[in-house]
Amino acid sequence: MTADSALSHNPVMLAEMLGALDPKNGARYLDATFGAGGYTRAILDAADCSVIAIDRDPDAIKRADGISADYGDRFTILCGCFGDMEQLLLEIGVTRLDGIVMDFGLSSPQIDNPARGFSFRADGPLDMRMGMTGPSAADVVNEWPESELARIIKDYGEERYARRVARAIVTARTDAPIETTAALATIVRSAVPRSKDGIDPATRTFQALRIEVNDELGEIDRALEAAENLLAPEGRLVVVAFHSLEDRRVKAFLAKRSGRGGGGSRHLPQKEPAPPTFTLLPGGLQKPTEAEIRLNPRSRSARLRAAVRNANTSQQVSNAVSGGAS
C-alpha cells in the first residue's frame, strides 16, 4: 500500500456516523472495524474521549501507528475479529462502553491493493482473507464441490446464475488451478449475462467468496450480540452496512431488540415478549447524500442504522426467550 492510497480513503457517511454516535468528553468508544482509521480519528477529534479499535488485518494494525502517535493513550488498537470484541476487550479489562461503531465495508487500502485479491479491477492473487490466515478464496474455488460453490454464490452473492457460475468454475479448474482475480472474473463473465445496470457480472460471485472466506455474516451476528452486552445504558450502537445481506441482519436484530420484531404465530402458545434492550434513534435508516455519492461512488450502497442501549439486561432477554428465570 502506498501513502497515497491510505490518504485517498474517504470514510463513508462520516457526518451521519458522528451525529448518531454523539461523542462525549470522558466517554469510551469502540471502532470495531478500524480499517483505514477514518472513523477513529473523527471520534477522537469530536470529543476529549478515548477510542479502542479492532481489526484483524495486519496492514490495518500497522496503519494505526500514526493515530497512536497523534492521540497517545486516548487510542488503543487490538488485533482480532470484531465478532470477538467481548473477549478482546475483557483481556484489557474493559467491560463497558459508551458507544460502538461498526462499518462492514472493505477499506480503500484493501480494495486498491491487488495483492489482497479483493477486487477484479486489477489482477492479483485470488486471496480475499482479511486476517491473512485460514483458507483463501483460491482454496474455495479450486477445492469445493460444485454444489457448495453454487450454494454460497446463490446465498451470499444473491446470484441468479449461481449454478452456471459454479459449473463454469469446476470446468475451468480441470484444465488448471484458478489462481488470480482476473482468471476468475473471466470465467464468471462467461457464465453470467451482462446486466443493464452496468454492474460487472463478476461482482456478486466475488462478494460471495469474500463473505465465505471471512465468515462475515457470522461475525456480524456475534458482534451485534456482543455490542448488546458491552454497551452501558445510554450507550449508542451505530452500524453501516453495504449490501442487503448485512443490512437485513442489522435491521432484524435492532427490530427484535427494540420490541418491534412482530409477534409469533397465532397458532402457537404466546410467550411473554422479551424486554427491549435498545431504542431506535429517530430518523430510521439513513443513506448517503447525493453529494457524497458523487465524491465517493463506493458509498452508494451504504446504509446506516443506530440505536441507544437502555437499562434492561441481556440476561432478562435471554430468560424471556427461553421462558425461564435465572
| Structural domains of the chain, ranges and CATH numbers in brackets | 3-109+216-322 (3.40.50.150), 120-214 (1.10.150.170)
**pLDDT tens digits for 111-163?**
666 767 677 788 899 988 887 778 999 999 999 999 999 999 999 999 999 99
**pLDDT tens digits for 239-264?**
999 999 999 999 999 999 999 865 54
Sign of CA dihedral 18, 21, 27, 32: negative
Strands (E), 85-159: 97-103
Q: Tell me how far apart the alpha carbons of residues 131 and 90 are, in angstroms, rounded to a whole number.
A: 21
Q: Tell me how far apart the alpha carbons of residues 48 and 23 are, in angstroms, rounded to a whole number.
A: 9
Where b means 16+ CB within 10 Å and e means fewer, 110-124 reads bbbbbebbbbbeeeb
pTM: 0.85
β-pairing, 278-280 vs 303-309, is antiparallel
Cell numbers given for 223: 458482534
Q: Tell me how far apart the alpha carbons of residues 149 and 165 are, in angstroms, rounded to a whole number.
A: 8
pLDDT of residue 257: 95
Order across the sheet with 50-55: list the strands: 75-79, 50-55, 28-31, 97-103, 231-241, 303-309, 278-280
